[in-house]
């Protein structure tokens, strides 16, 4: 049994029916499943966290459609490798073979010139490109390539998905099925996996292999005792990349500058892309600080621009200054909550009509039927304010913005209450 591949590889699904998670994409009647079943497959990008099945899904697609499958990793492949695959694919096309699938893992790590080398083959239909990325493709993929690909977002696996993977492994795996394994508690397994299916199965196999007995009862304490997490090294291309950036963000969110600069140092010494760090701080400045301190967003933006112009090692000073400032700043997620609730409301209520008094009236007909009627220009009134409804009638009076409990937003809260009275009474 020593020659067997790891459990995660042994349990890799072979078809869509065995594939766990991503029902919004590959469940019955879902958009990607329809495309696969029709055989009309666009080039695409899979965007999602590690361990959610991006590579597996690409392989299943190629096998389902009986297409040749070429796989490259952006970490150790260059333009030469891409061109060799494209040349092979061109020969297959000339010989009448089905259109190959070219899968590129971590496509966000390809340089602009490497991404440019894909354009011609994608445009000519020499290959169907499937790129996998853990980063927002809007930032990491060149616009010319992005415009030629359909972007599919893969969601983190939920608790039910992860537990079903464990049950499936115990029932079907060639090794585990011969043992009597009882998972009395699964919380530690799921927590240590971080929602990563591959990591979950690796940890599970480690626990099972630690006991020679054919009968094993797994508890949270057992898992924590046997899983040794050595975080001394930083692997910017692997799982710790995500764990450490998470610790960095949570330290700033939790107002701990010591934690923030420690995890920042871990990333710098490990060779992390400084623009990746700066971009994450830019997001945090809006998501977790927001209007409690609007200057945080300005500083984070300046940090991003400075890092882009200066580079390392000098940029580590700018990153440190910004991380400490964000960690020690007042915090508020009111803007994050407001837009989340507003988007949920839009999805729930649909396309509500714009009130007539808020519509422009560029034509005489529009003016005659009431467009713009009763609109009051705020600057024509005292204090540049007028009591007017700005939401659709069906949701009039809905409160989406809840000021945070900080000095700046409490000041805004008092101003809103003074202007609007009961309408903005929190």
Q: The CATH number of the domain where 294 resides is what?
A: 1.20.272.10
195 and 275: one domain? Answer: no
The residue out of 131, 153, 175 marking a domain boundary is 153
123 and 245: one domain? Answer: no
Q: Identify any residues that bridge with 131 across adjacent strands, giving them in sequence order.
A: 45, 104
Q: What's the rounded Cα separation, in Å, for the pair 62 and 97?
A: 13
Whether residue 232 is contained in a domain is answered as no
254 and 163: one domain? Answer: no
What is residue 250's predicted lDDT score, i.e. its pLDDT?
A: 93
Mean pLDDT confidence for 28-56: 86
178 and 119: one domain? Answer: no
321 and 386: one domain? Answer: no
Q: What's the rounded Cα separation, in Å, for the pair 33 and 38?
A: 8
* Residue (of 91, 88, 141, 87) closest to 116 by Cα position: 141
Whether residue 135 is contained in a domain is answered as yes
DSSP states of 264-315: HHHHHHTT--HHHHHHHHHHHIIIIIGGG-THHHHHHHHHHHHHHHH-TTTH
> Buried (b) or exposed (e) across 176-214, using 16+ Cβ within 10 A?
beeeebebeebebbbebbbbbbbbbbbbbbebbeeeeee
Whether residue 112 is contained in a domain is answered as yes
What is residue 264's predicted lDDT score, i.e. its pLDDT?
A: 93
pLDDT band at 326 (very low <50, low <70, confident <90, very high): very high
- Residue 238 burial (CB count, 10 A): 12
For the cut 50, the answer to whether the pLDDT of residue 233 exceeds it is: no
29 and 149: one domain? Answer: yes
- Residue 346 burial (CB count, 10 A): 12
Strands 128-133 and 180-183: unpaired
Whether residue 346 is contained in a domain is answered as no
The 10s digit of each residue's pLDDT in 337-374 is 888 888 888 888 888 888 877 777 666 665 665 666 77
Q: What's the rounded Cα separation, in Å, for the pair 266 and 284?
A: 19
Per the listing, tokens 């000098």 go with 314
Show the tokens assigned to 417: 């209450």
Mean pLDDT confidence for 200-204: 86
Per the listing, tokens 């204090």 go with 383
Residue pair 334/346 in contact by the 8 Å Cβ criterion? no
Residue pair 36/64 in contact by the 8 Å Cβ criterion? yes
Mean pLDDT confidence for 116-120: 83
Per the listing, tokens 């930083």 go with 234
- The range of the structural domain enclosing residue 163 comes to 159-226
Q: What's the rounded Cα separation, in Å, for the pair 402 and 40?
A: 46
The residue out of 113, 130, 153 marking a domain boundary is 153
Q: What is the CATH number of the domain that holds 415?
A: 1.10.3710
What is residue 234's predicted lDDT score, i.e. its pLDDT?
A: 45
What is residue 83's predicted lDDT score, i.e. its pLDDT?
A: 83
243 and 276: one domain? Answer: yes
Residue pair 128/99 in contact by the 8 Å Cβ criterion? yes
Show the tokens assigned to 265: 């140092």
Q: What is the largest CA-CA distance in the chain?
A: 86
Mean pLDDT confidence for 82-90: 84
pLDDT band at 53 (very low <50, low <70, confident <90, very high): confident
Least confidently predicted of 72-76, 179-183, 284-288: 72-76
* Integer angstrom CA distances of residue 214 from 8, 143, 292, 304: 20, 55, 57, 55
67 and 122: one domain? Answer: yes
Residue pair 163/192 in contact by the 8 Å Cβ criterion? no
203 and 169: one domain? Answer: yes
303 and 251: one domain? Answer: yes
Mean pLDDT confidence for 211-227: 80
Higher pLDDT, 383 or 229: 383
Provide the strand spans (E) within 89-138.
101-105, 128-133
Q: What is the mean pLDDT of the chain?
A: 83
Show the tokens assigned to 252: 């700033």
Whether residue 394 is contained in a domain is answered as yes
What is residue 311's predicted lDDT score, i.e. its pLDDT?
A: 83
Q: Is 221 exposed, middle or buried (0-12, 13-18, 19+ CB in 10 A)?
A: exposed
Whether residue 401 is contained in a domain is answered as yes
Residue pair 145/38 in contact by the 8 Å Cβ criterion? no
The 10s digit of each residue's pLDDT in 274-302 is 888 999 999 999 999 999 999 999 999 99
Whether residue 214 is contained in a domain is answered as yes
Q: Identify any residues that bridge with 153 across adjacent strands, giving them in sequence order.
A: 47
Q: What's the rounded Cα separation, in Å, for the pair 194 and 201?
A: 12
Q: What's the rounded Cα separation, in Å, for the pair 162 and 180?
A: 19
Mean pLDDT confidence for 195-206: 84
- Region at 350 (left for phi over 0; alpha for psi -120 to 50; beta for the rest): left
DSSP states of 60-89: HHHHHTT--EEEEETTT--HHHHHHHHHHH
320 and 372: one domain? Answer: no
For the cut 80, the answer to whether the pLDDT of residue 139 exceeds it is: no
Mean pLDDT confidence for 4-16: 85
243 and 123: one domain? Answer: no
Q: What is the CATH number of the domain that holds 53?
A: 3.40.50.300
Domain count, the chain: 4
Q: What is the CATH number of the domain that holds 198?
A: 1.10.8.60
Whether residue 83 is contained in a domain is answered as yes
Q: What's the rounded Cα separation, in Å, for the pair 372 and 171?
A: 67
% residues pLDDT > 70 (the chain): 93
What is residue 230's predicted lDDT score, i.e. its pLDDT?
A: 36
Mean pLDDT confidence for 240-250: 83
The residue out of 123, 153, 183 marking a domain boundary is 153
What is residue 231's predicted lDDT score, i.e. its pLDDT?
A: 34
């Amino acid at each position: 049994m020593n020659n067997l591949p790891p459990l995660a590889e042994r349990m890799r699904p072979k078809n869509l029916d065995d594939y766990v998670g991503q029902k919004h994409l590959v469940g019955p009647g879902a958009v990607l499943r329809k495309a696969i079943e029709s055989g009309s497959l666009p080039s695409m990008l899979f965007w999602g966290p590690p361990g959610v099945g991006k590579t597996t899904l690409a392989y299943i697609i190629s096998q389902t459609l009986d297409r040749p499958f070429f796989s490259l990793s952006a970490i150790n492949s260059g333009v030469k490798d891409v061109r060799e695959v494209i040349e092979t694919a061109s020969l297959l096309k000339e010989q009448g073979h089905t259109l190959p699938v070219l899968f590129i893992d971590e496509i966000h790590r390809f340089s602009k010139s490497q991404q440019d080398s894909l354009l011609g083959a994608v445009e000519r239909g020499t290959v169907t490109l499937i790129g996998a990325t853990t980063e927002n493709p809007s930032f990491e993929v060149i616009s010319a390539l992005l415009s030629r690909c359909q972007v599919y977002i893969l969601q983190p696996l939920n608790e039910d998905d992860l537990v079903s993977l464990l049950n499936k492994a115990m029932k079907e795996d060639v090794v585990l099925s011969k043992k009597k394994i009882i998972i009395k508690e699964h919380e530690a397994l799921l927590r240590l996996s971080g929602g990563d299916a591959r990591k979950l199965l690796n940890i599970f196999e480690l626990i099972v292999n630690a006991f020679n007995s054919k009968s094993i009862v797994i508890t949270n304490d057992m898992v924590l005792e046997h899983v040794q997490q050595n975080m001394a090294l930083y692997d910017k291309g692997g799982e710790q990349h995500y764990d450490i950036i998470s610790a960095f963000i949570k330290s700033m969110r939790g107002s701990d500058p010591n934690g923030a600069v420690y995890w920042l140092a871990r990333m710098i010494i490990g060779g992390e892309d400084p623009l990746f760090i700066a971009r994450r701080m830019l997001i945090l400045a809006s998501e977790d600080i927001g209007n409690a301190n609007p200057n945080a967003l300005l500083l984070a933006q300046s940090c991003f621009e400075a890092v882009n112009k200066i580079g390392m090692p000098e940029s580590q000073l700018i990153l440190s200054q910004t991380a400490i400032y964000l960690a020690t700043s007042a915090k508020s997620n009111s803007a994050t909550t407001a837009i989340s609730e507003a988007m949920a409301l839009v999805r729930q209520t649909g396309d509500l009509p714009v009130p007539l008094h808020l519509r422009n009236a560029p034509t005489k007909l529009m003016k005659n039927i009431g467009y713009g009627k009763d609109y009051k220009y705020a600057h024509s009134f005292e204090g540049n304010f007028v009591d007017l409804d700005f939401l659709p009638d069906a949701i009039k009076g809905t409160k989406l913005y809840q000021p945070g409990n900080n000095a700046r937003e409490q000041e805004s809260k008092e101003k809103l209450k003074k202007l609007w009275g009961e309408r903005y009474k929190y």
